[in-house]
Amino acid sequence: MDLASFKSIRKCAQNLLENEDKIDYLINNAGVMRCPQWQTEDGLEMQMGTNHFGHFLFTELVMPLVKKSAASGEHPRIVIVSSLAHFWDSNGINFEDIHNEKNYDPKKVYGQSKLANILHAKELAKRLNNTGISVYVLHPGVIATELGRHLVIGTPKWIGCWLFPLFQWVVKTPFHGAQTTLYCTLEDKIECESGNYYSDCDKAPTKIAQAEDEEAAKKLWELSEKIVGLKD
């Protein structure tokens, strides 16, 4: 599945609906970080389009399978991987320029996309209240993966020579980086918690006021429904 393509997302979701009985755990983890000003297949800014809108659409399309899991007596969970970077744009999500066509800053736009993950999780948890489905959102840590492959763009060579070798000492391995995701997916003691933000296998505070703004979460949800084609 290509999260930068609504067509691909719909095809994958339809395949699951036709071939699977239920979904017990849905983990929204894929993403892109600080890429050039690219667009998705559907004309959306790449980071917001992939990291938020793609996951939003996929989650809604496969929700019937998650609800079947709850109906069968299971306690399904939806886990959304955000980032500590959700505060990288101190102004929060710019609803007036949601596709970031003006003054594109890859760092700030990545932050907005990760903030969108948090708002998505909080509004989803609210809408799924009393359904038996729990929602979690988390910062996995800084992990040694190819997510940061665009970080070197525009970085002076002298910084790269000194900083990146030192950076390796503070990053997590993929194994250790997966632990908070697994905690939110499998830990029994948080089974009845929903809508909270986690880091290092524990509940954590968010870093920007808009992350706790219920009106912003609702506004993003309604806008997302229109952008992905679920509502006119």
Residue from 110, 136, 183, 197 carrying the catalytic annotation: 110
Q: Find where tokens 């609803």 sit.
A: 95
> For the chain, what's the residue count?
232
Active site residue 110: yes
Read off the pTM.
0.88
Contact assessment for residue 31 and residue 51, using Cβ atoms and an 8 Å cutoff: yes
Contact assessment for residue 135 and residue 193, using Cβ atoms and an 8 Å cutoff: no
Contact assessment for residue 89 and residue 111, using Cβ atoms and an 8 Å cutoff: yes
In this prediction, residue 127 carries a pLDDT of: 98
In this prediction, residue 180 carries a pLDDT of: 94
In this prediction, residue 57 carries a pLDDT of: 98
Domains of the chain: 6-227 (3.40.50.720)
Copy the structure tokens of residue 58.
């996929």
- Cα-based angle 51, 200, 187 (whole degrees, multiple of 5): 90
In this prediction, residue 97 carries a pLDDT of: 85
**CA-CA distance, 88 to 102, in Å (whole number)?**
17
In this prediction, residue 165 carries a pLDDT of: 54
Copy the structure tokens of residue 211.
């992350």
pLDDT 10s per residue in the chain (232 long)? 999 999 999 999 999 999 999 999 999 997 887 768 889 999 999 999 999 999 999 999 999 999 999 999 999 999 999 988 788 788 899 999 888 888 888 889 989 999 999 999 999 999 999 999 999 999 986 654 544 544 554 455 444 444 555 555 567 676 776 889 999 999 999 998 999 999 999 999 998 899 999 999 999 999 999 999 999 8
In this prediction, residue 198 carries a pLDDT of: 96
Q: Report in angstroms the alpha-carbon separations of 205 from 34, 198, 199, 200.
A: 24, 8, 9, 12
